[in-house]
Chain A
Amino acid sequence: MGQIVGGFLVPHDPLIFAAPDTVPAEVKDAVFDAYAEAARRLGELRADAVVVFGTDHYILFGPGCLPQALMGVGELDGPIDRMRGLDRRVIPHHPELADHILRHVLDGDFDLACAKVLTVDHSVAIPQQLVVAPAGDLPIIPFYLACGVDPVIPMRRAAHLGGLVRSAVEAWPGDERVVVIGSGGISHSVGEADMGRVNVEFDQMILELVAEGDVEGLCALSDDDVVRDGGNGALEIRNFAAALSAVPNPRGELIAYRPVPQWITGLGFVEVRAA
């Protein structure tokens, strides 16, 4: 059977590419070193495929169709929102395992949209290029959870999906080792008047929940409280809830945390170990 052997939570802040020199070199180096450390640890896990939970930013999906959750099952490329340093490229995929996960999730009474081809955005492309590609250009299986456009997917629903991904992998007849990545956060306000506000206290609270693998604690947070304390962008901690739920007995180990107002985000990097 397949196995979820671990996970990572990493940010996907586009300003690390769009405005790289607005922060001191020491900060920039620390952030890119954190991605490199996640890549190094991913390499040690000897994974065969990586599931990435990302967020649409009202680019991939428009008002004509807003999936609560979508999975890419076929050919992949991206990002659609390319930027200097983040070029658009073909991304390795794993269609057989992806198809198996899709059908397992649907059989689990979870309605999931699927994309038979998908051009991902930066929320998947940043971890793909900075963590997955350096670890051996492993195939990825992307999910998009509605985190940025109302109505967002309920946190508990995101966690439920993560659990279904885990059971799907465990029901896979092959012996693939699979790693999950929750992409996003932590505190940031996108496009609102308080854009640039980073809340270290909120970030530490989330990191403590993650360290304990406390998905229930994440689910207990109301969206109103998350937006008030962490900004509208922090709603994407539901990607953390999904990733944690996919890892057996998860425990988070902090790789790095940097609050970077110039990049409008509290940037947290965590390895999620399977106990």
Chain B
Amino acid sequence: MSQTMLEKVLYDLSVDRSAKKAFRDDPRALLAGYRLTAEEIELICDFDLHALRERGVNPMLLMGYWQLARQDMTSYLRRIAGPRDMEGKA
């Protein structure tokens, strides 16, 4: 598990237009280019905010990356403030 690599991926997904497009087209193909475990890839694809936060990812990166799910900040807050069993694919 690498908090640093998770932050690298989420930073790219927050600020890099080409990374955002690649993620929307085929997230697993994009993420295969990073040094991530299979579990980490699933967490990112599932927008599992709780698990990513628990792994030390900066919440500002989570907010930027959440916009990829085409969701607003109200839904972000509902998800991050909600219980873990509310997690699901965005």
Contact = CB atoms under 8 A, between A and B. Distances in A.
Contacts of A62: 8, 11-12, 15
Interface residues of A, number: 17
Closest 3 CB pairs of A and B: A191-B59, A193-B81, A58-B60
Contacts of A191: 58-60, 62-63, 76, 80
Most-contacted residue by chain A among B59, B63, B80 (CB, 10 A): B59
Contact of B14 (A58, A64, A149, A192): A58
A98 to B, nearest CB: 26
A259 B63 CA distance: 22
**Which of A64, A191, A194 gathers most chain B CB within 10 Å?**
A191
B87 interface: no
Contacts, number: 45
B4 interface: yes
A86 B80 CA distance: 28
B11 A63 contact: yes
A150 B53 CA distance: 14
B77 interface: yes
Nearest to A148: B60
B27 interface: no
A190 B58 CA distance: 10
Interface in B34-76: 53, 58-64, 76
Given A63-B7, A63-B8, A58 B61 contact: yes
Interface string B1-20: 00010011001101100000
A63 B16 CA distance: 13
Contacts of B81: 193-195
Interface of B: 4, 7-8, 11-12, 14-15, 53, 58-64, 76-77, 80-81
Nearest to A64: B8
Interface of A: 57-59, 62-64, 148-150, 190-196, 232
8 contacts: A58-B14, A58-B64, A59-B14, A63-B7, A148-B60, A149-B60, A190-B63, A195-B81
A191 B14 CA distance: 14
Contacts of A195: 77, 80-81
B60 A63 contact: no
Contacts of B62: 191
A190 B59 contact: yes
A193 B80 contact: yes
Contacts of B61: 58
A136 B14 CA distance: 35
Nearest to B49: A191
B44 to A, nearest CB: 15
Contacts of A190: 59-60, 63
Nearest to A194: B81
A123 to B, nearest CB: 12
A152 B60 CA distance: 14
A150 B61 CA distance: 12
Given A148-B60, A149-B58, A63 B4 contact: yes
Contacts of A150: 58
B56 to A, nearest CB: 9
A149 B63 CA distance: 14
A128 to B, nearest CB: 21
A205 B12 CA distance: 38
